[in-house]
Structure 1
């Protein structure tokens, strides 16, 4: 299977409401779809969507690098191109993710496997030779605890979500705990909260929030500390039964130190930060081997990116709810995202990635390298 052409589509997808992160809020998702065509007629797709707030991945630099890297693939066999990708993402991990995803899409199609199964087939299985599931549990993303209403909470419960995620750390601890207690009366016994503090608190405030949360159905809190250290996180985790999770602070704390010290119980994985599904899958395997659980999450990626992340979560197959039910936050999308049924995101029933661009998606072909 030889790559005969490459094409790129630039998109700007408005959100239905602002999404809050540690770096601030954003109301639009910008990125590029990559398409690779082959002499067999197969097409592979990848999503290049730098994480909001990334200083290095500017739109101009990202698009130029994506086109340059895509141009170099023309004339190569997909499997050879996949093996030739540099293992480290460097300063533009979203570009590497798009290239790698499109190549994995092609090679999985050639192997006759869904992408999740292909990811597992290339590694020693996490659990014997069991095939990955056709769907993964996901948490509902409800936004700020201060703004969510009873109707949204009830609706998410009725849709079968096992975990409901809320943003905290934007108001006083007392007011947020009081709101959580009010909302908790709406939850069925099997449904739990997942909270994201976005690096909001001092150590003292984090300890106070955890004590106040002890009797609430909270299964995880992401990034509780404004300036975390491994020791501070370790102390916090030792004092609570709630799983603490590291997300964006992994770049400051260091992945190797996190794996060796295990200061918390969970690690949040975002493929655009790690530069690919393969590095992300490898990290999840290493984390599992030392007792760290991994949750795959989306930062409002397009349908293509969410589909790829869902294959990753299915390949990891750790039975946790992953943070991939974010497509409803987009007012428009690049295609149809995977369906969510009874709180589970269902993978496409096809080989490869299974992404199909929507109507109106116009790709601009990348010029092939000069033969001279």
Structure 2
């Protein structure tokens, strides 16, 4: 683990930004993030607002590793990525997917409590029509279904030839039960929240509750920590993001590039969902991939998209608290 810099050093290195999104995602239309400039480069600290300090401190550890630590060796210089489709109306799907360019894989968000299974089916049907038979579709429920509801949804959606179900249920026992029910369907289960939000990220592997892991560099505490989890779990992994700026996406790309094997397109194309970014060389997909490289924010864009003073102060205090959590562990 990279030692935690002094909290005031982190605050001095911090640039708090607020970026507009092209469509509502996770109930918000703007994304706030803290960019930290360290001696090795830039890192991103952008835990969602509802996360407590203990959980958010892992995101800070990842940013510190990126800005102050040694980079992990990589085995590839580009990473294939998927498009991510929020819960938009069917007639808006094409315009969202067009922002990602020529990708072969789409992750469709499902199980929104404001919608029905019929809405999810309609969205997946339209994505299959757009992609054609060779395209790859995965759906992400963010733990929003019960086991029975997930089984019904799987039966309804299986006709669209899904690549996998991502976090269909909330708990590890539910995932294990669903996986057992779907065994004859040969529909893989991917675990996301059961890895990144769990006190024991390896529980899902020990319980035989998933066929693959979805790993995110910030919530898992950095590239080195995520690589250890994947290695110990012994399951295939796909790297994803949380609507990061290009700085955060570069951190995710380095994780994906460091994995010995990468069998799935990664959820690192989400700069396409940003209406603005912190760099003029945004890490948006080109021919279905993003490069593995450092990202240098543009000073003018940092000023243009600086968060209001009260939000900057809020993030500075959160930064101090999370740094204290990390320092206590050091």
TM-score bin, normalised by smaller chain: 0.7 to 0.9
Q: Which runs of 5+ in 1 are unaligned?
A: 38-42, 58-89, 108-114, 121-130, 349-353, 365-372
Q: Is the 8 A contact 1:47 1:305 kept in 2?
A: yes
TM-score (norm 1): 0.70
Matched, 1:235 2:191: no
Task: Work out the CA distance in 2 between the residues paired with 1:224 and 1:280.
Answer: 22
Higher Rg of the two aligned structures: 1
Summarize the Cα distance change of 1:186–1:34 in structure 2 as closer, same or farther, 3 Å threshold: closer
- 1:208-239 deviations in whole A, cap 9, x for unaligned? 11112222121021111245525324324524
Matched, 1:95 2:60: yes
Q: Is the 8 A contact 1:142 1:148 kept in 2?
A: no
Q: Is the 8 A contact 1:12 1:28 kept in 2?
A: yes
Q: Is the 8 A contact 1:144 1:167 kept in 2?
A: yes
Q: CA RMSD in A?
A: 2.7
- Given candidates 166, 181, 194, the residue that maps to 2:125 is 181
Summarize the Cα distance change of 1:97–1:183 in structure 2 as closer, same or farther, 3 Å threshold: closer
Matched, 1:167 2:109: yes
Structure (1 or 2) with the greater helix fraction = 2
**Aligned twin of 1:346:** 291
Q: Which runs of 5+ in 2 are unaligned?
A: 307-311, 313-330
Structure (1 or 2) with the greater strand fraction = 1
- 1:139-197 deviations in whole A, cap 9, x for unaligned? 0112126446353377379x331211111112222342244234423323321111111
**Aligned twin of 1:65:** none
**Aligned twin of 1:142:** 85
State the SS of the aligned residue for 2:124: helix
**Aligned twin of 2:47:** 50
State the SS of the aligned residue for 1:300: coil
Q: Is the 8 A contact 2:150 2:178 kept in 1?
A: no
| Aligned length in residues | 289
Task: Work out the CA distance in 2 between the residues paired with 1:225 and 1:246.
Answer: 9
Summarize the Cα distance change of 1:356–1:178 in structure 2 as closer, same or farther, 3 Å threshold: closer
- 1:268-293 deviations in whole A, cap 9, x for unaligned? 11122111111012112223xx3x12
**Aligned twin of 1:224:** 168
